[in-house]
Amino acid sequence: MRLIRFLIALLCIAAGVVVGALNPQPVSLDFGFATVPGTLGVSLLVALLIGAIAGGLVLAASVILPLRQQLRRERARHATTTHDSGGA
């Protein structure tokens, strides 16, 4: 499993290098308060990374956290019922 993860990471790095090399055009990103110069390839990769991180945060907030809370409640309920019925 570690080998597969390593190969996927290596493939993603190689794809990033290819995208960066094939898109050397200069671009300027204007944020209103600052202007950041860079290349098109790097800008694309940064935008992709920010989108992946934002998607992961939204997924964590909307799915994972509620499921963890539900699991915690179920475990507490199960522990209470098991503890109550075991004493008789």
| Mean per-residue pLDDT, 18-28 | 90
Confidence of residue 20 (pLDDT cuts 50, 70, 90): confident
| pLDDT value at residue 14 | 92
| 58-86 pLDDT tens trace | 998 998 889 999 999 999 888 888 776 65
Question: Which has more pLDDT, 5 or 84?
Answer: 5
pTM, to two decimals: 0.68
Parse the chain into domains and list their residue ranges. 42-88
Residue 35 phi, psi (nearest 5)? -115, 130
Asked whether residue 87 carries a pLDDT value surpassing 80, the answer given is: no
Residue 36: pLDDT over 60: yes
- On whether the CB atoms of residues 28 and 10 are closer than 8 A, the answer is no
